[in-house]
């Protein structure tokens, strides 16, 4: 039981990571607190569902379409956020809340209030290893989150573009003084964020279920993990996802399901009190 | 000096006459819509957006069919029924303001709609304040009916679930290891507690009682716990999305209980179509379905299905029927008031509702002193090859259940 629980917790944490990555990147670079993030994840899921169910697209081929749609929307969002006055964080919350409501109601109108599931039979199968049953869903989530993080790591730490983005995350004004096109970095962050949302959405429909208002849950997960990891610290995100997944799972087993959210909240409060710069943070840089 | 005031008086008199003539002409062109003249207003508050939108829209559709049906028959004493619908956005605070608006501004004769007790409760309180009868479409919490609100009625009640479930489980699952999971909502919590009490009276021990938040994103640890405890029968008081995720994750983790019972949110075409074969062998309860109706009401049921399909182009479900039943109750009460040559107002409708006695496809509808329906009973059904098969009570059974349900390995 314990090994199964451990594996499923890591898989849950990886799922959280995939949902949070786009949000964390956009917030880190542009300081825009995108409350419509979850709705975009769900919308990407709906795009994938529709192509898979109605047009009988192979599931894997629905990802590019979902990415394209989220890319277009995110570029539109970036333009809207660019016109906001200071304080940017606060105004972006207000604007994105409105956008979230619009997206949510549009999804209700276009996709109805029925619960939608993307059912990929192969993902519900699995294999036994050392007496533990591991499903392909769990391995996919673990593998995909690690691959995406690795790619992001290479981009951020091994390319000039990544250095420029990290400089923007650390200090926007200093980066601008150093000749970095901060506005272009913002656009790039939105584009990468859109790709990540476009990947997370179809998986969301495959692992969870699609419903117009479920985006709020996804946003909450993204915000929690981002705070947990520390703003702008992409490397801490998977660690934060796993810790949260493990904490939630073991709380359910030892104390009951109703304590699950309480533990997440307590962990978050403790972190904000004792390590306000995130789980891997070392104070102001 | 005196001529000026006199001129003013003449001018004022002329102006007043002018207004009076315009008012009379406008009254002829646009007759004033009062509740008790050409139009009778029925107020409806449902969650048409937000997390309960799906259920709210279904309730609304059922109400719409009932009102259209009544209007097609000539309304109430020649007066057309007008449905004034408001969206509570799945939020109790909005439900209160919408109810107040309907009572005080729209001056509706009665209220209906409402899904889940958290939204029905606030509307019931407003209905009492403004003395407007309210027939709730979907409400279970016992406390709501215990408030002695003479204006509150509902077409469903908790014991309609608990009694048949308890009897069925006591007969079928003797000696099995049971777990009851329930959502943190008043209705689901009361169902779990009442069912546990009832099962224990029947010598069935419940090994685990576990509460969860509706919309919980992951049940895997709970499934591991259930597997560790070797639970045979799971009763889950969650709602449609909770069941979808739970079943998905049961399959993913290859945990195969002998039976899974979900009293709420399973007996729906959309649920079965979303889960496909994985929905097979699940037990649930059902008050009505196009193929499951109260004996003797087959014709009325078929007529509702036909009207519904003409309007919405798909099959109705049990939630649609709850909306339809609540609106039918109000319309029948209004008709009674009219037949008795009384004014169609809140007080008279309330009195007529308390004496109502009518056979509808979902139930034989009459209310007790607390506004609870006296004959509301669910039947136990099992999904077999994507269809709902009634398995309990024996007098309404259309087939036998398959127990234990095959393991996931056997099903693939």
**Alpha-carbon span B279 to A117, nearest angstrom:** 13
Q: In this structure, what are the phi and psi dihedrals at residue A58, rounded to the nearest 5 degrees?
A: -60, 140
Q: Does B189 touch chain A (CB under 8 A)?
A: no
The DSSP annotation for B61-75 comes to HHHHHHHHHHHHTTT
| DSSP category for residue A212 | G
Q: Which among B211, B221, B412 has CB closest to A253?
A: B221
Give the mean model confidence (pLDDT) for residues B164-172: 95
B20 within some domain: no
Q: Does B221 touch chain A (CB under 8 A)?
A: yes
**Predicted local distance difference test score (pLDDT) of residue B266:** 94
Q: Which among B216, B228, B240 has CB closest to A115?
A: B240
**Predicted local distance difference test score (pLDDT) of residue B130:** 92
B56 within some domain: yes
**Alpha-carbon span A110 to A103, nearest angstrom:** 10
Based on the fold, state whether residues B407 and B281 are members of the same structural domain. Answer: yes
On the 0-12 / 13-18 / 19+ scale of CB atoms within 10 A, B8 is exposed
Q: What is the ipTM for the molecules in this complex?
A: 0.82
Report the candidate in B292, B281, B267, B186 with the shortest Cα–Cα distance to residue B234.
B281
Based on the fold, state whether residues B120 and B50 are members of the same structural domain. Answer: yes
**Predicted local distance difference test score (pLDDT) of residue A130:** 78
Across the A/B interface, how many CB contacts are shorter than 8 Å? 107
- Residue to test with chain B: of A11, A133, A210, A213, most B Cβ within 10 A: A213
Q: Is the pLDDT of residue B329 over 50?
A: yes
Q: Could you tell me the two tokens for B75?
A: 């309304």
Based on the fold, state whether residues B124 and B174 are members of the same structural domain. Answer: no
Q: What's the CATH code of the domain at B246?
A: 3.40.50.2300
Range of the domain at A67: 18-214
The alpha-carbon gap from B209 to the nearest alpha carbon of chain A, in Å, equals: 9
Based on the fold, state whether residues B276 and B307 are members of the same structural domain. Answer: no
Contact (Cβ atoms closer than 8 angstroms) between residue A39 and residue A100: yes
**Predicted local distance difference test score (pLDDT) of residue B245:** 92
Q: Which among A115, A116, A213 has CB closest to B50?
A: A213
Contact (Cβ atoms closer than 8 angstroms) between residue B305 and residue B405: no
Angle between helix B220-228 and A235-255 (nearest 10): 40
Q: Is the pLDDT of residue B13 over 80?
A: no
**Alpha-carbon span B239 to B77, nearest angstrom:** 41
- Write out pLDDT tens, residues B176-231: 999 999 998 888 999 999 999 999 999 998 999 999 988 888 898 899 899 989 99
Q: Is the pLDDT of residue B122 over 90?
A: yes
B246 within some domain: yes
Lowest mean pLDDT among A254-263, B7-16, B194-203, B382-391: B7-16
Comparing alpha-carbon positions, the chain A residue that sits nearest to B49 is A105
Comparing alpha-carbon positions, the chain B residue that sits nearest to A133 is B253
The DSSP annotation for B183-211 comes to ESSHHHHHHHHHHHHHHHHTT--EEEEEE
**Alpha-carbon span B325 to B367, nearest angstrom:** 13
β strands within B34-106, DSSP E? 39-46, 80-87
- Residue to test with chain B: of A1, A2, A6, A8, most B Cβ within 10 A: A8
**Predicted local distance difference test score (pLDDT) of residue B28:** 47
* Residue A105 to residue B49, Cβ atoms within 8 A: yes
Q: Which chain B residues have a beta carbon less than 8 Å from that of A125?
A: 412
Contact (Cβ atoms closer than 8 angstroms) between residue B349 and residue B165: no
Lowest mean pLDDT among A207-216, B259-268, B326-335: A207-216
| DSSP category for residue B406 | P
Residue B343: which residues within 8 A CB-CB, separation 6 or more?
A: B36, B337
Based on the fold, state whether residues B180 and B322 are members of the same structural domain. Answer: no
CA distances A268 to A45, A89, A226, A228, A232, Å, are 28, 20, 11, 7, 17
Give the mean model confidence (pLDDT) for residues B39-58: 92
Based on the fold, state whether residues B168 and B272 are members of the same structural domain. Answer: yes
The DSSP annotation for B279-342 comes to GTT-EEEES-BTTB--TT-HHHHHHHHHHHHHHHSS---HHHHHHHHHHHHHHHHHHHHHHTT-
- Only one residue has tokens 């420029």, namely A164
A238 within some domain: no
**Cβ atoms < 10 Å from Cβ of A163:** 14
**Alpha-carbon span B295 to B116, nearest angstrom:** 28
A256 within some domain: no
Range of the domain at B191: 160-286+379-411
**Alpha-carbon span A250 to A124, nearest angstrom:** 23
**Predicted local distance difference test score (pLDDT) of residue B9:** 63
Give residue B36's pLDDT band: very low, low, confident or very high (50, 70, 90). very low
Q: How many residues does chain B have?
A: 412
Q: What is the mean pLDDT of chain B?
A: 89
- Write out pLDDT tens, residues A108-135: 889 887 889 998 888 878 888 877 788 8
Contact (Cβ atoms closer than 8 angstroms) between residue B326 and residue B367: no
User: Which three-class secondary structure state does DSSP give residue A277?
Assistant: coil
> Which residues numbered 270-299 in B keep a CB inside 8 Å of some CB on A?
270-271, 274-276
The contacts found for B9-14 with CB under 8 angstroms, 24 or more apart, are: none
Based on the fold, state whether residues B132 and B178 are members of the same structural domain. Answer: no
A85 within some domain: yes
Give the HSE-up count for residue B73: Cα atoms under 13 Å, Cβ half-sphere: 10
Based on the fold, state whether residues B86 and B226 are members of the same structural domain. Answer: no
Tell how strand B379-384 and strand B358-359 pair up. unpaired
Based on the fold, state whether residues B173 and B252 are members of the same structural domain. Answer: yes
The alpha-carbon gap from A34 to the nearest alpha carbon of chain B, in Å, equals: 19
3-state SS string for A191-206: HHHHHHHHHHHHHHHH
The strands making up B379-384's β-sheet, listed across from edge to edge, are: B206-212, B178-183, B233-237, B259-262, B283-286, B379-384, B387-392
Q: In this structure, what are the phi and psi dihedrals at residue B382, rounded to the nearest 5 degrees?
A: -125, 140
Q: Which chain B residues have a beta carbon less than 8 Å from that of A252?
A: 221-222, 225
A30 within some domain: yes
Contact (Cβ atoms closer than 8 angstroms) between residue A45 and residue A118: yes
Beta bridge partners of B283: B261, B382
Based on the fold, state whether residues B272 and B333 are members of the same structural domain. Answer: no
Based on the fold, state whether residues B226 and B317 are members of the same structural domain. Answer: no
A69 within some domain: yes
B76 within some domain: yes
If one counts the domains in chain B, the total is: 2
Q: Does A131 touch chain B (CB under 8 A)?
A: no
A80 within some domain: yes
The alpha-carbon gap from A6 to the nearest alpha carbon of chain B, in Å, equals: 9
If one counts the domains in chain A, the total is: 1
The DSSP annotation for A63-88 comes to HHHHHHHHHHHHHHHHHHHHTPPSSH
Comparing alpha-carbon positions, the chain B residue that sits nearest to A261 is B213
pTM for the full model?
0.83
Residue B77: which residues within 8 A CB-CB, separation 6 or more?
A: B338, B344
- Write out pLDDT tens, residues B58-102: 999 999 999 999 999 999 988 999 999 999 999 999 999 999 999
Based on the fold, state whether residues B211 and B342 are members of the same structural domain. Answer: no
B24 within some domain: no
| DSSP category for residue B102 | I
- How does pLDDT run along chain A (285 residues), one tens digit per residue? 778 788 888 888 888 888 888 898 898 888 888 999 999 999 999 999 999 998 889 999 999 999 999 999 999 999 998 888 888 788 889 999 999 999 999 998 898 878 899 988 888 788 888 777 888 888 988 899 889 989 988 998 889 998 998 898 888 889 889 889 988 998 999 999 999 999 999 999 988 889 998 898 889 888 888 888 887 677 788 888 888 888 888 888 888 888 888 888 888 888 888 877 776 665 544
B405 within some domain: yes
**Alpha-carbon span B143 to B148, nearest angstrom:** 10
**Predicted local distance difference test score (pLDDT) of residue A221:** 86
The alpha-carbon gap from A156 to the nearest alpha carbon of chain B, in Å, equals: 31
Q: Is the pLDDT of residue B40 over 60?
A: yes
**Cβ atoms < 10 Å from Cβ of B331:** 23
- Only one residue has tokens 């995909």, namely A144
B215 within some domain: yes
Q: Is the pLDDT of residue B298 over 70?
A: yes
* Residue A257 to residue B53, Cβ atoms within 8 A: no
């Amino acid at each position: 039981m314990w090994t199964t629980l451990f594996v499923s917790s890591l898989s849950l944490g990886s799922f959280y990571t995939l949902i949070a990555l786009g949000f964390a990147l956009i917030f880190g670079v542009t300081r825009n607190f995108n409350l419509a993030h979850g709705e975009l994840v769900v919308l990407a899921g709906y795009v994938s569902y529709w192509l898979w169910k109605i047009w009988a697209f192979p599931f894997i081929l629905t990802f590019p379409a979902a990415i394209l749609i989220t890319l277009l929307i995110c570029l539109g969002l970036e333009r809207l956020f660019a016109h906001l006055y200071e304080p940017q964080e606060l105004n972006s919350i207000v604007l994105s809340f409105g956008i979230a409501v619009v997206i949510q109601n549009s999804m209700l109108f276009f996709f109805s209030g029925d619960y939608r599931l993307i059912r990929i039979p192969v993902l519900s199968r699995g294999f036994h290893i050392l007496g533990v049953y591991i499903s392909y869903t769990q391995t996919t989530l673990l593998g995909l989150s690690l691959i995406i993080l690795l790619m992001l790591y290479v981009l951020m730490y091994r390319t000039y573009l990544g250095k420029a983005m990290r400089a923007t995350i650390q200090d926007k004004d200093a980066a601008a003084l150093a000749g970095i096109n901060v506005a272009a970095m913002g656009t790039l962050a939105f584009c990468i964020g859109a790709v990540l949302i476009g990947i997370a959405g179809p998986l969301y429909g495959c692992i969870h279920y699609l419903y117009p208002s479920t985006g709020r849950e996804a946003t909450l997960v993204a915000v929690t993990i981002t705070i947990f990891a520390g703003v702008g610290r992409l490397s801490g995100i998977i660690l934060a996802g796993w810790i949260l997944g493990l904490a939630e799972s073991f709380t359910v087993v030892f104390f009951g399901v109703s304590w699950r959210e309480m533990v997440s909240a307590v962990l978050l409060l403790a972190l904000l009190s004792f390590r306000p710069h995130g789980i891997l943070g070392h104070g102001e840089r | 000096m005196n001529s000026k005031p006199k001129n003013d008086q003449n001018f004022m008199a002329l102006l007043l006459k002018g207004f009076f003539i315009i008012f009379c002409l406008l009254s002829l062109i646009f007759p004033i819509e009062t509740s008790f003249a050409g139009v009778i207003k029925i107020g409806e508050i449902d969650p048409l957006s937000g997390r309960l939108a799906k259920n709210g829209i279904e309730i609304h559709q059922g109400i719409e069919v009932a009102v259209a049906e009544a209007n097609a028959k000539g309304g109430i004493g020649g007066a057309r029924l007008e449905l004034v619908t408001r969206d509570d956005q799945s939020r109790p605070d909005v439900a209160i303001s919408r109810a107040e608006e309907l009572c005080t501004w729209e001056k509706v004769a009665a209220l209906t709609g409402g899904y889940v007790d958290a939204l029905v409760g606030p509307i019931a309180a407003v209905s009492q304040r403004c003395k407007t009868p309210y027939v709730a479409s979907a409400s279970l919490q016992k406390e709501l009916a215990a408030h002695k609100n003479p204006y509150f009625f509902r077409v469903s009640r908790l014991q309609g679930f608990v009694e048949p479930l308890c009897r069925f489980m006591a007969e079928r699952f003797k000696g099995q290891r049971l777990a009851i999971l329930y959502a943190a909502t008043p209705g689901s919590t009361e169902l779990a507690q009442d069912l546990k009490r009832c099962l224990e009276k029947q010598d069935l021990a419940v090994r685990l009682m576990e509460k969860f938040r509706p919309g919980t994103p992951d049940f895997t640890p709970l499934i591991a716990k259930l597997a560790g405890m070797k639970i045979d029968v799971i009763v889950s008081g969650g709602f449609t999305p909770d069941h979808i995720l739970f079943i998905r994750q049961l399959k993913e983790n290859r945990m195969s209980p002998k039976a899974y019972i979900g009293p709420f949110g399973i007996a729906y075409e959309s649920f079965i179509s979303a889960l496909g074969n994985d929905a097979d062998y699940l037990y649930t309860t059902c008050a009505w379905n196009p193929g499951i109706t109260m004996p003797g009401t087959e014709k009325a049921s078929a007529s509702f299905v036909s009207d519904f399909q003409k309007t919405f182009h798909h099959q109705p479900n049990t939630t649609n029927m709850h909306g339809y039943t609540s609106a039918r109750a109000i319309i029948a009460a209004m008709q009674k008031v009219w037949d008795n040559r009384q004014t169609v107002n809140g007080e008279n409708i309330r009195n007529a509702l308390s004496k109502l006695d009518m056979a509808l496809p979902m139930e034989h509808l009459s209310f007790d002193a607390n506004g609870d329906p006296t004959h509301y009973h669910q039947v136990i059904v099992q999904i077999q090859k994507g269809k709902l098969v009634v398995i309990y009570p024996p007098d309404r059974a259309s087939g036998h259940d398959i127990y234990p349900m095959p393991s996931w390995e056997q099903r693939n």
